[in-house]
Amino acid sequence: MIGGLFAKVFQRVPSLLYRVSLMMKPQVVFVLGGPGAGKGTQCSKIVESFNYTHLSAGDLLRAERAREGSESGQLISNYIKEGKIVPVEITINLLKKAMEETMQGDEKKFRFLIDGFPRNGDNLQGWEKVMEGKADVKFVLFFDCGNEVCIDRCLERGKSSGRSDDNRESLEKRIQTYLQSTRPIIDQYEKSGKVRTIDASRCVDEVFADVKAVLDKEG
Protein backbone atom coordinates (compact mmCIF):
# COMPACT_ATOMS: atom_id res chain seq x y z
CA MET A 1 0.00 0.00 0.00
CA ILE A 2 2.79 2.39 0.96
CA GLY A 3 4.66 1.44 -2.18
CA GLY A 4 1.60 2.27 -4.28
CA LEU A 5 1.25 5.62 -2.58
CA PHE A 6 4.86 6.51 -3.35
CA ALA A 7 4.37 5.45 -6.96
CA LYS A 8 1.39 7.81 -7.32
CA VAL A 9 3.34 10.70 -5.80
CA PHE A 10 6.28 10.19 -8.15
CA GLN A 11 3.91 9.94 -11.13
CA ARG A 12 2.41 13.32 -10.24
CA VAL A 13 5.66 15.27 -9.87
CA PRO A 14 8.13 14.02 -12.51
CA SER A 15 8.71 17.56 -13.78
CA LEU A 16 9.42 18.80 -10.25
CA LEU A 17 11.89 16.00 -9.63
CA TYR A 18 13.55 16.75 -12.96
CA ARG A 19 13.89 20.43 -12.08
CA VAL A 20 15.33 19.55 -8.68
CA SER A 21 17.83 17.16 -10.26
CA LEU A 22 18.90 19.90 -12.68
CA MET A 23 19.42 22.34 -9.83
CA MET A 24 21.75 19.87 -8.14
CA LYS A 25 24.08 19.88 -11.15
CA PRO A 26 25.94 22.84 -12.64
CA GLN A 27 24.45 24.11 -15.91
CA VAL A 28 27.43 25.08 -18.05
CA VAL A 29 27.97 27.30 -21.08
CA PHE A 30 31.46 27.01 -22.56
CA VAL A 31 32.71 30.41 -23.78
CA LEU A 32 35.31 30.06 -26.55
CA GLY A 33 37.17 32.31 -28.97
CA GLY A 34 40.69 33.47 -29.70
CA PRO A 35 42.80 35.50 -27.26
CA GLY A 36 41.44 39.04 -27.31
CA ALA A 37 38.04 38.07 -28.74
CA GLY A 38 36.34 39.74 -25.76
CA LYS A 39 35.29 36.65 -23.80
CA GLY A 40 36.00 38.15 -20.39
CA THR A 41 34.36 41.48 -21.18
CA GLN A 42 31.19 39.83 -22.46
CA CYS A 43 31.06 37.38 -19.57
CA SER A 44 31.12 40.35 -17.15
CA LYS A 45 28.16 41.90 -18.94
CA ILE A 46 26.28 38.57 -18.95
CA VAL A 47 26.75 38.26 -15.18
CA GLU A 48 25.26 41.75 -14.74
CA SER A 49 22.11 40.86 -16.71
CA PHE A 50 21.64 37.12 -16.18
CA ASN A 51 21.94 34.70 -13.27
CA TYR A 52 25.30 33.25 -14.30
CA THR A 53 28.60 32.87 -12.46
CA HIS A 54 31.66 33.56 -14.60
CA LEU A 55 34.58 31.18 -14.24
CA SER A 56 37.64 31.96 -16.35
CA ALA A 57 39.93 28.98 -16.76
CA GLY A 58 42.78 31.40 -17.39
CA ASP A 59 42.03 33.51 -14.30
CA LEU A 60 41.80 30.40 -12.11
CA LEU A 61 45.13 29.18 -13.47
CA ARG A 62 46.77 32.58 -12.94
CA ALA A 63 45.42 32.76 -9.38
CA GLU A 64 46.80 29.30 -8.65
CA ARG A 65 50.07 30.30 -10.29
CA ALA A 66 50.34 33.25 -7.89
CA ARG A 67 49.21 31.34 -4.79
CA GLU A 68 52.10 30.96 -2.39
CA GLY A 69 53.18 27.39 -1.81
CA SER A 70 51.14 25.95 -4.71
CA GLU A 71 52.72 22.77 -6.09
CA SER A 72 51.06 23.44 -9.44
CA GLY A 73 52.01 27.12 -9.59
CA GLN A 74 55.46 26.80 -11.16
CA LEU A 75 54.26 24.24 -13.69
CA ILE A 76 51.38 26.51 -14.68
CA SER A 77 53.79 29.44 -14.99
CA ASN A 78 56.07 27.58 -17.38
CA TYR A 79 53.19 26.50 -19.63
CA ILE A 80 51.62 29.97 -19.79
CA LYS A 81 54.93 31.68 -20.64
CA GLU A 82 55.39 29.30 -23.57
CA GLY A 83 51.83 29.85 -24.77
CA LYS A 84 51.09 26.17 -24.19
CA ILE A 85 48.04 24.50 -22.66
CA VAL A 86 48.21 23.56 -18.99
CA PRO A 87 47.67 19.82 -18.18
CA VAL A 88 43.96 19.08 -18.14
CA GLU A 89 43.85 17.62 -14.63
CA ILE A 90 44.93 20.90 -13.08
CA THR A 91 42.39 23.00 -14.98
CA ILE A 92 39.42 20.69 -14.41
CA ASN A 93 40.11 20.37 -10.69
CA LEU A 94 40.25 24.17 -10.37
CA LEU A 95 36.96 24.54 -12.29
CA LYS A 96 35.25 21.76 -10.33
CA LYS A 97 36.35 23.26 -7.00
CA ALA A 98 35.14 26.74 -8.01
CA MET A 99 31.70 25.43 -9.06
CA GLU A 100 31.30 23.40 -5.90
CA GLU A 101 32.24 26.35 -3.66
CA THR A 102 29.85 28.66 -5.54
CA MET A 103 26.90 26.26 -5.25
CA GLN A 104 27.62 25.55 -1.59
CA GLY A 105 27.51 29.28 -0.93
CA ASP A 106 24.22 29.81 -2.82
CA GLU A 107 22.09 26.94 -4.13
CA LYS A 108 20.48 29.27 -6.69
CA LYS A 109 23.84 29.86 -8.37
CA PHE A 110 24.04 26.76 -10.55
CA ARG A 111 24.53 28.38 -13.98
CA PHE A 112 28.12 28.88 -15.04
CA LEU A 113 29.97 30.52 -17.90
CA ILE A 114 33.25 28.67 -18.29
CA ASP A 115 35.56 30.96 -20.22
CA GLY A 116 38.50 29.62 -22.25
CA PHE A 117 37.78 25.90 -21.78
CA PRO A 118 37.94 23.29 -23.30
CA ARG A 119 40.91 24.38 -25.39
CA ASN A 120 41.76 21.06 -27.03
CA GLY A 121 40.71 17.44 -27.39
CA ASP A 122 42.56 16.46 -24.23
CA ASN A 123 40.62 19.11 -22.29
CA LEU A 124 37.32 17.82 -23.66
CA GLN A 125 38.12 14.17 -22.93
CA GLY A 126 39.23 15.08 -19.43
CA TRP A 127 36.03 17.06 -18.83
CA GLU A 128 33.85 14.20 -20.05
CA LYS A 129 35.74 11.72 -17.89
CA VAL A 130 35.72 13.77 -14.68
CA MET A 131 32.42 15.64 -15.04
CA GLU A 132 30.18 13.07 -16.76
CA GLY A 133 26.85 13.07 -14.92
CA LYS A 134 28.08 15.90 -12.67
CA ALA A 135 27.44 18.88 -14.99
CA ASP A 136 25.30 19.63 -18.05
CA VAL A 137 26.89 21.51 -20.94
CA LYS A 138 24.05 23.50 -22.51
CA PHE A 139 25.94 24.99 -25.47
CA VAL A 140 29.13 26.75 -26.62
CA LEU A 141 29.10 30.54 -26.91
CA PHE A 142 31.67 31.18 -29.65
CA PHE A 143 33.15 34.66 -30.08
CA ASP A 144 34.41 34.74 -33.66
CA CYS A 145 37.06 37.40 -34.27
CA GLY A 146 39.90 37.91 -36.77
CA ASN A 147 43.46 37.15 -35.64
CA GLU A 148 44.85 40.66 -36.19
CA VAL A 149 41.96 42.25 -34.30
CA CYS A 150 42.64 39.87 -31.41
CA ILE A 151 46.37 40.67 -31.38
CA ASP A 152 45.77 44.43 -31.46
CA ARG A 153 43.32 44.19 -28.57
CA CYS A 154 45.71 42.12 -26.46
CA LEU A 155 48.65 44.45 -27.13
CA GLU A 156 46.51 47.36 -26.00
CA ARG A 157 45.41 45.39 -22.94
CA GLY A 158 49.03 44.52 -22.21
CA LYS A 159 49.86 48.17 -21.57
CA SER A 160 47.97 47.98 -18.28
CA SER A 161 47.19 44.30 -17.58
CA GLY A 162 50.60 43.30 -16.27
CA ARG A 163 50.15 39.93 -17.99
CA SER A 164 53.46 38.49 -19.20
CA ASP A 165 51.72 36.80 -22.15
CA ASP A 166 50.26 40.04 -23.58
CA ASN A 167 53.16 40.54 -26.00
CA ARG A 168 53.30 39.85 -29.74
CA GLU A 169 55.55 36.78 -29.53
CA SER A 170 53.38 35.04 -26.93
CA LEU A 171 50.19 36.16 -28.69
CA GLU A 172 51.24 34.66 -32.02
CA LYS A 173 52.00 31.38 -30.26
CA ARG A 174 48.65 31.50 -28.44
CA ILE A 175 46.73 32.13 -31.66
CA GLN A 176 48.46 29.22 -33.41
CA THR A 177 47.61 27.00 -30.43
CA TYR A 178 44.02 28.22 -30.60
CA LEU A 179 43.70 27.54 -34.35
CA GLN A 180 45.27 24.09 -34.11
CA SER A 181 43.68 22.91 -30.89
CA THR A 182 40.55 24.88 -29.97
CA ARG A 183 38.88 25.46 -33.33
CA PRO A 184 38.45 21.68 -33.87
CA ILE A 185 36.57 21.54 -30.54
CA ILE A 186 34.23 24.31 -31.69
CA ASP A 187 33.73 22.48 -35.00
CA GLN A 188 32.94 19.28 -33.10
CA TYR A 189 30.24 20.98 -31.02
CA GLU A 190 28.95 22.66 -34.18
CA LYS A 191 28.17 19.25 -35.69
CA SER A 192 25.89 18.47 -32.74
CA GLY A 193 24.12 21.84 -33.01
CA LYS A 194 25.51 23.16 -29.73
CA VAL A 195 27.37 26.27 -30.93
CA ARG A 196 26.00 29.82 -30.81
CA THR A 197 28.33 32.03 -32.90
CA ILE A 198 28.75 35.74 -32.19
CA ASP A 199 30.59 38.21 -34.48
CA ALA A 200 33.05 39.57 -31.90
CA SER A 201 34.90 41.98 -34.20
CA ARG A 202 32.45 44.79 -33.41
CA CYS A 203 32.16 47.16 -30.45
CA VAL A 204 31.28 45.79 -27.00
CA ASP A 205 27.63 46.91 -26.99
CA GLU A 206 26.88 45.52 -30.45
CA VAL A 207 28.39 42.18 -29.50
CA PHE A 208 26.42 42.06 -26.24
CA ALA A 209 23.16 42.76 -28.05
CA ASP A 210 23.66 39.50 -29.96
CA VAL A 211 24.75 37.68 -26.80
CA LYS A 212 21.63 38.85 -24.98
CA ALA A 213 19.43 37.64 -27.84
CA VAL A 214 21.03 34.18 -27.62
CA LEU A 215 20.62 33.90 -23.85
CA ASP A 216 17.04 35.21 -23.93
CA LYS A 217 16.23 32.50 -26.46
CA GLU A 218 18.04 29.72 -24.62
CA GLY A 219 16.37 30.58 -21.31
Q: How far apart are CA 26 and CA 52, in angstroms?
A: 11
Give the residue ranges of the annotated binding site for a ribonucleoside 5'-phosphate: 62, 84-86, 116-119, 163, 174
Give the residue ranges of the annotated binding site for ATP: 36-41, 157, 202
How far is CA 156 from its chain centroid? 23
- Three-state SS across 156-176? HHHHHHCCCCCCHHHHHHHHH
Dihedrals φ, ψ of 196, to 5°? -115, 110
All residues at 6 or more sequence positions from 82 whose CB lies less than 8 Å from its CB, including other chains: 173
Q: How far apart are CA 192 and CA 199, in angstroms?
A: 20
Give the residue ranges of the annotated binding site: 36-41, 62, 84-86, 116-119, 123, 157, 163, 174, 202
Task: Give 141's strand partners.
Answer: 31, 196
Nearest to 113 by CA among 77, 147, 88, 138: 138
Give the residue ranges of the annotated binding site for CMP: 123
